[in-house]
């Protein structure tokens, strides 16, 4: 009885860890997309500045 309880507990913990890892991956993907769009905006802005200055 006690052993099976421990196993269930452990499986639950493992599942939680997997969920946390998946969530972190999703967050980092979103974060990366956001950074990419910011980077592109900065690039466009620089190009406009460069064109207007020359």
Local structure of residue 1 (DSSP, 8 states)? -
pLDDT tens profile 6-48: 888 889 989 999 999 899 898 888 888 888 888 899 899 998 8
Report pLDDT for 33: 85
Q: Could you tell me the CA-to-CA distances from 52 to 9, 17, 44, 45 in Å, in that order? A: 64, 52, 12, 11
Distance separating alpha carbons of residues 30 and 15, to the nearest angstrom: 23
In this prediction the pTM is 0.48
Helices (H), the chain: 2-53
Residue 49 pLDDT level (bands cut at 50, 70, 90)? confident
Q: Sign of torsion, CA 48 49 53 54?
A: negative
């Amino acid at each position: 009885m006690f052993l099976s309880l421990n196993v269930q507990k452990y499986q639950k913990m493992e599942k939680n860890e997997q969920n946390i890892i998946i969530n972190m991956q999703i967050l980092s993907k979103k974060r990366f997309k956001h950074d990419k769009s910011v980077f592109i905006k900065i690039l466009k802005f620089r190009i406009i500045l460069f064109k207007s200055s020359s």
